[in-house]
A and B are shown apart, each in its own frame.
Chain A
Amino acid sequence: MTVPAELVIVGASLAGLRAAEALRAGGFAGTLTIVGAEPHPPYDRPPLSKQVLTATGPPPDTTLPVRDDLHARWLLGRPAAGLDIEHRTVNLSDGTAVPYDALVITTGAVARSWPGHRPPPHGVLTLRGLDDALRLRGELRPGRRTAVVGGGFLGSEVAAAARARGAHVTLLVAAEQPLLGAVGTEVGAHVAALHRGAGIDLRTGTTVEAFEAERGRLVALRLSDGSRLPADTAVLALGAVPATRWLAGAGLDIRAGIRCDAYLRALRQDGTVAPGVVVAGDVASVPHPLAGGRHLLLGHWTNAAEQGEAAARTLLHPDRPEPFRGVPSFWSDLHGARIRSVGLPALADTVRVVEREPAAGRLEVAYEHQGRLVGALTIGRTARLAAYRQELQRRGNEATGRDRPVPARRGPR
């Protein structure tokens, strides 16, 4: 494939915008169309569970700046409904067919919904997009009884934000500690103490069995310990699911996100490269050097930004693409504590506490798998992260063979 003339990006969020910017910066002078499911221009998501919920005045505008020289055609509020790889066409839900020479898929993820047979009553919310955040913000008032369900970072952030707004907050976590699967017991214990110190009723080892409603509106949650928790609002933070439903029948491997090769090229079900299709961000399942080449889905801001650029690079330089080797990093701000992390803490079999000073609000931990560093996390010690990141970058470069020649493209062009 030579450099395309007609380029379509499906997914108008950070990864899609960064891909568009990188394509223009790299000299792409053809037609650029950006399709977005939501009516909003690209906006930043991390503040949705933080400042957008906690701001006492009007919520901050999280719109991402779009350069004037992007010269893109925006098709917003028009979800993609199908993809025809053979005829290189994206079909939108309103019936429009959008042809492409090259396609960047950055459709992200959606909030995992309640697994029960019946949909939950009014007053039970999820948080993924801007509209979700504004709706939830309207529910967070002083004295409101708010139940947050979920042991991940989103649940912890929403609980902290609701508490900061003066709500009575119960955080329900299935595991023995919040964040256990993501970052381990040491950090989980630290965060549990932060939650309890802020006045959040943290209940671990507890799940939701059912919702109780009156006139269709939530009044209480039935919990796994047999108790009944009265609540005005419940927020489900049960994780994210890659947004691939629109790709059903397209022939891509979408068993867990869109499976890609190391250059972010989409793979078909038979393992061959789909011609002219690259993928980036939360929807991309990418072989990761720090995970021994295993495919991973990562839902982090830096991952979306870096993969957007990398996917553009693959399209701009089809004859000399580079494998994606970004070092993952993520952050969270909880009750004023700045949690910063690099690498893949969830892969660790060993967590080494390097420094722990709870009184000063400081923590530094290193994550290892089979004796090798795979990640690090600090609270109030960001300065210490750079050295870990450097080591992880070095390891990633080594594993992907920085100077190794690119293998020939598989499959038809």
Chain B
Amino acid sequence: MRITVDMNLCESHGQCVFAAPEVFSFDDEDRLLHDPSPADSLLEKVERAAASCPVRAITVTPGAR
């Protein structure tokens, strides 16, 4: 799968980090970091992370690399 995060929208709510800590994390300045192409086995968690983002900054494309 392929993940993109619109950093102009991201407000560091952290909901994606709660939902899929394997993929999303923060640096020391609360800037969001993410793995752009995680293993497909994480798809359900990643989709949950995208749905839990209050500003809908996360786009998930299943299958794509």
Is B18's CB under 8 angstroms from A389's CB? yes
CA distance A385 to B15 in the complex (A): 10
**Chain B residue with Cβ nearest A22:** B51
* Bound CA span A410–B12, Å: 43
> A302 to B15, Cβ gap below 8 A?
yes
Q: Which DSSP category, helix, strand, loop or mixed, fits chain B's interface?
A: loop
In the complex, A327→B14 CA distance in Å? 13
B6 to chain A, nearest CB (A): 14
Query: Do residues A386 and B18 form an inter-chain contact, with CB atoms below 8 A?
Result: yes
Considering the chains assembled together, what is the distance between the CA atoms of A329 and B14 in angstroms?
Answer: 10
Q: Which of A327, A333, A382 has the most CB of B within 10 A?
A: A382
A246 at the interface (CB under 8 A from B): no
Q: Contact string, B25-65, partner A, CB cutoff 8 A, digits 1/0?
A: 11110100000000000000000000110101000000000
Which residues of chain B come closer than 8 Å to A318, judged between CB atoms?
none
Complex contact B21–A386 (CB within 8 A): yes
By beta carbon, the residue of chain B nearest A305 is B52
For the A-B complex, the count of residue pairs with Cβ-Cβ distances under 8 Å equals 45
Instruction: Decide: A65 near B56, CB < 8 A? Known: A383-B26, A383-B30, A386-B21.
Output: yes
Number of interface residues of B (CB under 8 A): 17
Q: Are A380 and B13 in contact (CB under 8 A)?
A: no
List, in ascending order, chain A residues with CB within 8 A of B30's CB: 338, 380-383
A331 to B26, CA, bound (A): 17
CB distance from A182 to the nearest CB of B (A): 18
Question: In the complex, A46→B11 CA distance in Å?
Answer: 13
Bound CA–CA A333/B26 (angstroms): 18
B3 interface hit (Cβ, 8 Å): no
**B23 in the interface (beta carbon within 8 A):** no
Knowing that A46-B54, A302-B52, A386-B21 are A-B contacts, what are 16 other residue pairs whose CB atoms are under 8 Å apart, sorted by A's residue number?
A44-B54, A65-B56, A301-B54, A305-B51, A331-B54, A333-B11, A338-B12, A340-B14, A380-B30, A383-B25, A383-B26, A385-B14, A385-B18, A386-B14, A389-B18, A390-B18
Pick 10 A–B contacts, CB within 8 A, sort by A: A46-B54, A65-B56, A302-B52, A305-B51, A305-B52, A331-B54, A338-B11, A382-B17, A383-B14, A389-B18
Measured CB to CB, the residues of A under 8 A from B are: 44, 46, 65, 301-302, 305, 327, 329, 331, 333, 338, 340, 380-383, 385-386, 389-390
Chain B residues within CB distance 8 Å of chain A: 11-15, 17-18, 21, 25-28, 30, 51-52, 54, 56
